[in-house]
Structure 1
Amino acid sequence: MTVPAFSLRNAVRASAPLAGALLLVGCVTGSDIEGLHRHVGDVEKRVDALAKQSSSKEEVAKLNENLGKQVATLLRSNADLGAKFDELTRELQTLAGKLEDANRRLAQLSQQLAETQARLAAAAPPDAAALPTSEATPGTAPPVAPAPAVASAPPRGGAPSPADLYAQATADYQRGQFELAREGFEDYVERYGRTDLSDDAQYWAGESLLAQKKPREAIAAFEKLFKTWPESDKAPAAHLKKGVAHLDLGEKAQAIVQLQFVVHEYPSSDEAKSARQRLKALGSDSR
């Protein structure tokens, strides 16, 4: 049983009157009393030390208790983290499975696309009989030269006026002189590239090349039209004829893409109607 420190201290202090009484009756000497006081002081010091030790033990006990609670909390947190880690692992495994499925489907689609392109490349371009004969392809009619409103003198140095140059190129095209027509239309674009007929001249330069069985050069001419005059009213016909040029080159897949572009971008135009017919003849749809 542990005696409280304050009880021991009080007991020691209570012995002091007893020592005084002993001195009065003459039973002990003064040196004995002094020694007794020293002894009492030592006992008080020991009592104080014991009190401090007791307080320290209580603090240590409280620290141990708090530490135990913290350890228990950490253990619970570790358990929660472990459960979450397991859950994340399962989710990652599920995602990995889905990714593998997506890669497998992508590989299948790539193979199907390659097979489709191979079939398109192997197929021969359709002959003229495969297309409707009751409808002329838009843009194939010869250009019409504009009639000048007022006759004007030719520019200095003998250079033809814009109207004369365009009219001469148009006449060459109508006579089947497609190389001369190409040169005339390109000359017009180079000299008078800012007039209302500049984009028309560029378009007919491409048509002249197409008539000469030069589809690659015709595609380049149409591309120049798209780049220089993106809002030209000749753009639908030029896109259609670009698709025709790809067909002439045996590039059926590119032709289908170009014809579908015409249908999507200009759905109400005559060029879109012609493009749908050509796509149908090619065994493709207009989607």
Structure 2
Amino acid sequence: MTLKPFASGARLRRAAGALALGLGGLAWTGAAHADLFADNDARRAILQLRQEVAQLQADQQSQVKQLRNSLLDLSNQITQLQSEIAQLRGQQDTNTQQLNTALAKMQASQSALSQRLAPLEPVQVQIGGKNYNVQPAEKAAFEQALSTFRGGQFANATTQFQAFIAQYPTSPYQGDAKYWLGNSLFGQQRYRDAAAAFQDLIQSQPDAQRVPEAMLGLANCQLELREVKTARVTLQRLIKNYPQSEAAAAAHDRLAKLK
């Protein structure tokens, strides 16, 4: 079959136009597909980002929750420790009070014991320039007898000195007690008894401090008994044995009056 030239050209032009339209459609469809692919990637990225944000928020909430729980536990522990410290302080206060009470009772007991033992503990006294340890009752008995004598109650003093000498035979007060016993008897004008008391001191304790005075007292008793010669001998012996004593000076005066 033979085509006409005109008809063939028209057909060619129509075919070229169709081809151009087809190619244009194809170009538009490619661009549309490219845009569609880009939107999907963006959506996936956004979704992934949202998931990451959600996960981060969840992690933060979990961490905050754990932190709150830890703080709560710590707060509870602090409260418990404060309670235990308060209990310990209370126990310490109680123990301190009990200890103070026990110490106070112990001190009171020691004080009471010291008071009970005080009358039994020796005390130091000075007799004739020397220090001695005597029992409190011993000291009190001698001082009571001496006080009675100085009060002029010679009879009572005699009784007290005699009781003291019998009760405390080894007392360092023995010399003084015998001397004051002689003076108590002399004050009652019991000259022979007084002379015997003085003689007892002179013979039993020749080194006693009161011996010179006892010899003078003995001489006075002898003079009251009108034993002048015996009194003179006693005075002379006093001066000879104790020349530096005050009793010796008084003995010189007595002897001078006897001549």
User: TM-score scaled to structure 1, two decimals?
Assistant: 0.43
Larger Rg: 2
More relative contact order, 1 or 2 (CA 8 Å, 6+ apart):
1
User: TM-score scaled to structure 2, two decimals?
Assistant: 0.48
